[in-house]
Chains A and B, each alone.
Chain A
Amino acid sequence: MTPTTAVYATGLVKSFGGFRAVDGIDLTVDQGEIYGVLGPNGAGKTTMLKMLATLLPIDAGQASLFGVDVAREPHRIRQLLGVTGQYASVDEDLTATENLWLFGRLQGLRSADARATAKRLLAQFDLEEAANKPIAQFSGGMRRRLDLAASLITRPPLIFLDEPTTGLDPRTRGQMWDTIRDLVAGCTVLLTTQYLDEADQLADRISVIDRGRKVAEGTPDELKSSVGDSTLQLQLAAGADQELAAQVVGRVVGQEPVLTPESARMNVPLDVADDAADVLIALRQAEIPIASVSVAKPTLDEVFLALTGHDTGEGDQETTREHLALEIR
């Protein structure tokens, strides 16, 4: 840990019953960095964040924020931290202004200052017109923005964003990304996400979490290049020889493709998209019939497969693809 370390954690563990939700995670985040924690549902991202935010007791290991120990000085930690949860944590019965005023007052602002801060934040987050509307009338994106605004009232040096865009439609997601980039600048940000493209868009560094463990860490580019620049997805025709197909593909691209035998699917990592043609020609020459072909950028699923040897365990491929399609467009 150096004087410029914002988050420092070693060997963090959290068990629920016999299940180790977080199983010995080390984490170092530098000041001013946007750090992404990437992983599928249930990987332990939120649990880890909750431990760091004093919302869950730490079972084993040690954590400090800016040198302040999380377990020993929870009240000080809460003053250094803004937390924006997975679900907007604002009061449904109050208006946007009242919400921000209340959170300001609770954190020791005088009434007039709290009102001024609320006004300023609503302007910054483009919520002025909705300032006096009850939250019940807010769209998902507006709620998230208000939630983020509420975390910035005291300008804490560290912001936790837990899956800031999960459940938002693609257009709103993009807007949320812009908001995050603009408004949290100057703070250190620890962000969790299920989407590689989100981590790619926002984070300076990423760690990939799986089943409570860190399986990789690096810049978004480093992670993506570990699975090739893009992926050729092949659906073999019924009755095609999958073994042979894998061998043929392996010879062309120089590494084994990832097989899903049940559905006769094959994902081929490509260093350059151009190699796709060579693979297809080789398969034609070996007389292996193909049902469908597509080329895509690597998804979280593929990064996962490459890193852990198993998939994210979600039937969620559709949504991931959708986001990627948008990103490419």
Chain B
Amino acid sequence: MSTLTFDPTPTTPAATATVDPAAAVARAHARVSPAETVSQTLSMAWRALKKMRRNPEQFFDVTFQPLLFTAMFAYIFGGAISGNVQRYLPLIIPGIVAQTVLTTCMSTGVQLREDMEKGVFDRFKALPIARIAPLAGPMVADLVRYLIAASLTFVVGVIIGYRPHGGPLGVLGAILLAVFTGWAIAWIFTWFGILARSARAVQGYSMMVLFPLTFLSNAFVPVGTLPGGLRTFVKFNPVSHLVSATRDLANHGVLSSEVGWTLLAGLVVIAIFAPLSVRSYKRHL
């Protein structure tokens, strides 16, 4: 119990002013306008950012993974795959950017699931707000995490000797592309988060999807070294396109068709999974 005392005598009379139902009914509008949707999404993003700041362990994955994986993979596989670490870096750094951004998406779904189990979501459901706002808000806040993950990977790469020939602009483009793709793919995990029964289940499903997608791609090894069937899979794997696009931007400063394909794939994913998520969320009520 708190030490606060409570004075049960009536408080300010302002509180007891009568409410006119007719006026309230007249004021009530039938739909959420696009402007309201944006404002509500941003309010939800504000909430998610507050929560991040109060639970800094949410940043562990986006800081430690780039630090650890970049150095680890470069030194372990560098010699075997490319002859030496220096020559491997242009191959592996974009690969790790893709991988980190994808793993970061996974926690979007896990955290949404945890969040939805809290009482405050009952209120969000009862409020006259756009149904997409509670889902999109945390995702907007997560842009910060993708940005940290992608930038940090490049920083670590540069420290251990990676020299991106695409220049600062190319690297910036690569980071933005990775952030966009991560954000797009996060909608898939958001949908998982709404459907799954528990946060642990989301984690399980997501791992099952993510591991094959990241490792069965061109992220870590040249495609030429793979057996036939696997090579076909790797070619069609959207992660390969992200990795190639990132390489083209960072290593060569080229806006290649891979960049176009990646953007298109991202848009398709959003177009499918954002409405799907909202629909499942409505049904979840």
Chain A residues at the B interface, C-beta cutoff of 8 Å: 6, 31-32, 53-56, 66-68, 73, 75-76, 78-81, 83, 85, 87-94, 98, 102-103, 105-108, 120, 123-124, 126-127, 129-130, 134, 137-139, 141-142, 150, 155-158, 174-175, 178-179, 182-183, 185-188
- How far apart are the CA atoms of A145 and B7 in the complex, in Å? 13
Given contacts A106-B129, A130-B4, contact A182 B10 (CB under 8 A): yes
CB within 8 Å for A73 and B19 given contacts A89-B119, A92-B120, A106-B43: no
Question: Within the complex, what minimum Cβ distance (angstroms) separates B115 from chain A?
Answer: 9
Q: B16 within 8 Å of A by Cβ?
A: yes
Residues facing A in B243-274 (CB within 8 A) are: none
A156 CA / B25 CA spacing, docked (Å):
10
User: Is the Cβ of A188 less than 8 Å from the Cβ of B21?
Assistant: yes
- B11, B36, B128: most-surrounded residue (chain A CB, <10 A): B128
From known contacts A106-B133, A139-B2, infer whether A80 and B24 are also in contact, taking CB-CB under 8 Å.
yes
Min CB distance, A102 to chain B, in Å? Answer: 6
Q: Does B285 contact A (CB under 8 A)?
A: yes
> Cβ of A85 and Cβ of B30 under 8 Å apart?
no
Q: Which residues of A contact B285 (CB under 8 A)?
A: 54-56
Whether B25 pairs with A90 at a CB distance below 8 angstroms is no
Instruction: For B15, give its contact among A55, A85, A183, A188 (CB under 8 Å).
Output: A183
Which residue in A6, A55, A87 is a CB contact (below 8 Å) of B126?
A55
Q: Which residues of the partner chain B approach A68 to less than 8 Å between Cβ atoms?
A: 25, 28
Categorize the interface residue count of chain B: 35 or more
Residues in B with CB closer than 8 Å to A185 are: 15-16
CB distance from B130 to the nearest CB of A (A): 9
- A135 (CB) vs chain B CBs: closest residue: B120
> How distant is A266 from chain B, measured CB to nearest CB, in Å?
39
B32 engages A75 (CB within 8 Å) = yes
Report the nearest A residue to B10, measured CB to CB: A182
Q: A78-B127, A90-B123 are in contact. List 16 more A-B contacts (CB 8 A).
A: A55-B125, A55-B285, A79-B29, A83-B126, A89-B121, A91-B47, A93-B55, A106-B43, A107-B127, A123-B11, A157-B19, A157-B20, A157-B24, A175-B8, A179-B8, A182-B16
How many angstroms between the C-alpha atoms of A80 and B32 in the bound complex?
15
The answer to whether B128 touches A75 (Cβ under 8 A) is: yes
Q: Does B197 contact A (CB under 8 A)?
A: no
**What residues on A are CB-neighbors of B126 within 8 Å?**
53-55, 78, 81, 83, 89
Docked-complex contact B27 and A79, CB < 8 angstroms: yes
Q: Which B residues touch A106, using CB under 8 A? A: 40, 43-44, 124, 127, 129, 133
Q: Which residues of B contact A137 (CB under 8 A)?
A: 2
Q: How far is the CB of B128 from chain A (nearest CB, A)?
A: 4
**Are A66's CB and B11's CB within 8 A?**
no
* B19 engages A126 (CB within 8 Å): no
Q: How far apart are A175's CB and chain B's nearest CB, in angstroms?
A: 5
| A134 neighbours in B (Cβ, 8 Å) | 54
Q: B200 in the interface, Cβ–Cβ < 8 Å?
A: no
Give the complex CA separation of A54 and B128 in angstroms: 10
Q: Which residues of A contact B16 (CB under 8 A)?
A: 182-183, 185-186
What is the bound-complex CA distance between A56 and B126, given in angstroms?
10
**Residue of B with least CB distance to A73:** B30
Chain B positions 1 through 39: 1 when the CB is less than 8 Å from some CB of chain A, otherwise 0: 110101110111011111111101101111110001001
Cβ contacts A to B, 19 pairs, < 8 Å? A31-B21, A32-B18, A55-B125, A67-B25, A75-B32, A79-B24, A79-B27, A80-B24, A81-B126, A85-B123, A87-B119, A92-B120, A103-B123, A105-B46, A106-B43, A123-B11, A124-B12, A156-B19, A175-B8
B129 to chain A: which residues have CB within 8 Å? Answer: 106-107
| Interface check B50, CB cutoff 8 A | yes
Find residues 28-81 in chain B having any chain A CB closer than 8 Å to their own CB. Answer: 28-32, 36, 39-40, 43-44, 46-47, 50-51, 54-55
Measured CB to CB, the nearest residue on chain A to B133 is A106
Given A31-B21, A93-B55, A142-B2; A76-B122 close (CB under 8 Å): no
